[in-house]
Amino acid sequence: MAAGNETPVGLPVFGLPGDDFYILHGLALCSLGLSIIASTFVLVYLLFFASNKPVRRRQIGERLVVYLAIYDLCFSISHSLDHSYMMATLSNPPDYICVPFAFLLHQFTMAQSLLVLFTSVNAMTMVVLNRKLDLGHNDWKLFLITLGVPASAGVVGVSVPYLGPSGSWNVNCLLGLYSYSENTLIAMSTSNHIRVCFYSDQSCGSEGLYK
């Protein structure tokens, strides 16, 4: 049993032996399942009931909601597979399974952060500056940033390699310059999102744009 609870590099599985393992993965699968249901509901409603227009011809606000729901659905499905594997086998997956799980988790976690950051910047640009951002044909510029940047960073993480098991799920190992760079990028996205929202709120309040 001890051998089955360790990765090839000796990383133990969190919570084994004991109940913490089942609590962690059980709660994770429940929350991810709810997220899958919610994202699916939003997508079905927006794609089939909200409007007859193709998504690419709708307003930017509605398109961003669709993109956010798609990213969240991809994250939830990939991460639920990760937790399901560990729940079924009671061990960390081998590298050839672990690395794709870690890559997908890294990809959609960072993509969501960048898309949320763009949403806040876009709101500030439209409300405060009264301008629209040029996203290119079919929003290709948006996809290039939100999907291309995480994918490039993920390829680097696989090549180094810094993507692998954590003992609780498959994610980037918390060691090395790569991890510090990635965590810094996500932290900057979050902090910039907060600052943009604060600035927009202050500007709207001072100029009366919500009236």
* pLDDT per position as a tens digit, 84-95: 888 888 877 777
Number of Cβ within 10 Å of residue 168's Cβ equals 18
Residue of 102, 96, 56 whose CA lies nearest to 78:
102
- CATH number of this structure's domain 13-207: 1.20.1070.10
Whether the pLDDT of residue 166 is over 70: the answer is: no
By CB atoms closer than 10 A (0-12, 13-18, 19+), residue 127 is: middle
Would you say 79 and 31 are in contact if contact means Cβ atoms under 8 Å apart? no
> Closest by alpha carbon to 7, among 177, 168, 158, 182?
168
The helix (run of H) or strand (run of E) holding residue 167 is none
Across the chain, mean pLDDT equals 75
- pLDDT at residue 36 tops 60: yes
What is the per-residue pLDDT for 143?
Answer: 93
Q: What is the pLDDT of residue 185?
A: 55
Q: Are 86 and 169 in contact (CB under 8 A)?
A: yes
C-alpha angle 71/75/76, rounded to 5°?
A: 115
Is 156 a residue whose pLDDT tops 70? Answer: yes
Q: Where are the domains of the chain?
A: 13-207
pTM: 0.76
- Residue 175's pLDDT band (boundaries 50, 70, 90)? very low
Q: How confident is the model at residue 147 (pLDDT cuts 50, 70, 90)?
A: very high
